[in-house]
Structure 1
């Protein structure tokens, strides 16, 4: 079975990647200025997860572009 993505799927993944980058930027920025420790922790966890998601998406896209 063919494991390559279609053009529309690749474009969707690029859109998700852009969204995740924006989420990471916002979480990192807000974490730096947040004063509530619980909120700071939540934003830090969100940023960590966003980084992992971005790495995974980039890995998948890298395989498709070869």
Structure 2
């Protein structure tokens, strides 16, 4: 194998990699919003849990007060 053959092989491999760049960019463009939404959900999850826990606690407290348990 001579230097010209190696250069040709390198050029072909680079061309193949460059072809895949647009595919990878599309995948990233599709996945980033999904990941962002997941991160927002994970940030909000503890707050939502606290709201439901507090609401349930208030419901039980009002039930006991109303029925004098």
TM over 0.5: no
Higher RCO, Cα 8 Å, sep 6+: 1
| TM-score between the two structures when normalised by the length of structure 2 | 0.41
Which structure carries more helix by proportion?
2
